[in-house]
Structure 1
Amino acid sequence: MLLRILAMRVRENELIEKIAAALGRRPRVSGELRLGIGDDAALFRPRAGREIILTCDWFLEGTHFFREKHPPDSVGWKCLARALSDIAAMGATPRCFLLSLALPASHTGRWLSEFLRGLSRASRKFACVLAGGDTTQGRGILIHIAAIGDAPTGRAVRRSGARPGDFVYVSGRLGEAELGLQILRGNRGFLNSKNPLLKKHLYPEPRLALGEWLAKKRLASAMMDLSDGLSSDLPRLCATNGVGALLESARIPQTRHSDVARKQGLDSLCLALHGGDDYELLFTVPPPKVRALPRTIQGVILTSIGKITRESKLALRNEDGREQALAARGWDPFR
């Protein structure tokens, strides 16, 4: 038994070495991260005048990705990107993250190498370094990310703050990630991960620059990210503020690949309303500040899709002027 335990320890040490080598054995020590990989815990100290932003996110095989369909490097990229979307929604800057990883022994070779390659690319892209974490063996692949960021004290954008009359905005186009997922599910085995129809599902990009810009300019009265779908996330923002919203269906930015959606038996508006995994920003803007918003920021479109209402109900107005209740039909892991 002792030899077995020692062998397991050696294998785990090798696993940790592999992760450390892929993501930087000695992460850059800065004004925030004082001590990273290699000790019992990391040391983090925010710069003067800034406060810490903390968030965490599960990424589970069979729930969020499929081993037989999702390329390992996309799993590595996406597990960090989706966690950092919460940082973006606060208007904050990502600094470092913790990785907890459980996987079968059969996947500690090539699968892990490709996973770490994707994770390393995301870490560099979003300037967010690995500070530590934990590893264990399991039957399935379980990934947990804890992300740490910071923002100027008192300047983080919260979900609260929306008022009746505020305009409701979204970034980007909605439903493209869900379209990619449906295409992936409808095909056997792996598809070409460079297929543009799959990009937003496999390699989402949190709107970090946009979130920071909105916070800096103090334009957003409330903000959150769109991870579960507009019809499920907007009610959460409204409930926090005790308000409702009236959306205009004609203004909701839909996928540019509506012809592909139709061939899949999918409606572009339904994808935009109920599709998850977009990781765009949903935010409200008081009327006097709307003029300060450009149409795009770094190539990302900003679209006003409706208004916050005093009455606490959510409605969608169709192009013919008729209104209907907006039901929450987005992603729900317990449904």
Structure 2
Amino acid sequence: MSNQDSISNKTKSQCNYNNNVDKHVSSLFGPVDDNDDDYNDNNDYYDDENEQVPRSPFVLAGLPPEPQDGNIEYKLKLIDPNPDRLQHLITQMNWRLKEGHGEALYEIGVEDCGTLSGVSHEELQASLVTLRKMADSLHASITILFERKVENDRHIVEVLVRKVPDDQHFIDLRVAVLGTVDSGKSSLIGVCTYGELDNGHGRARLNLFRHVHEIQSGRTSSIAHEILGFNDSGESIDYGTYRTPREICDRSTKIITFADLAGHTKYVRTTIFGLSAHAADFAMLCVDAPSSVVDTTREHFSYAITLDVPVFVVINKIDLCSKA
């Protein structure tokens, strides 16, 4: 680690303290004061003077220690590295991009142990210049996801680095959608890919149904696919703006392909086939909030775990739950 990345004895003691704190507790979020003066600062490190820095709606209490593998990299600061150090940083970024299949997250102002030390405004600008130089050398793009201030007017920034593989037009991510019948899987995909809310009577799901009996019953019995695109700035590109998949793909650097799988136990073979044969990168498990977790939900979760597919959970229909 270079001199720029070295830390003081005081900071080291803070790191040791953080390592002794449970990572789930240390990554808790707290609410932000709406009158926070942070929202009124100028942001000189943007090329466009009118472009605003995305602000995090939360204040981090700390992060887990930096993972050795994966696509997340912590950097306290990156200020004017010498040529050898710069080449090392570029190689490191390239490795993180490969770990993330074309995407990497850089946390600027964060120690390797997860301590949120922050950097000054001048150090932040210099670090972003170096980060952009690193990305340019790999023909990658960078997008600032959010920026927050910590104590003593110091900044923390999360930056997304994205590089489309040389043999691809965009980054392709496949998500299998699991969940019991009537959990709102098809409606959720329809809302995400068409950019319009459901009318409460299942209009959003009609675009995914392929058979008459699916339209009549409102239940999926086959495997349906829809895509959602994102550009370099992280803005969504969907059927609400463009009519054909080709138009979406031509304008996107990242495409998420949703595979809508059947939730009824009658079509369990179709569900397992869709989860395995389509080589899903992730499984989205939809949970119906009023009904909570049922046997079919547990079964679908076990299918994903057995096939070693990472799972994330979406709780749907929360508007139907009582406030009590």
Q: TM-score range by the shorter chain?
A: under 0.3
Larger relative contact order (C-alpha < 8 A, sep ≥ 6)?
A: 1
Larger Rg: 2
Q: TM-score, normalised by structure 2?
A: 0.26
Q: TM-score, normalised by structure 1?
A: 0.26
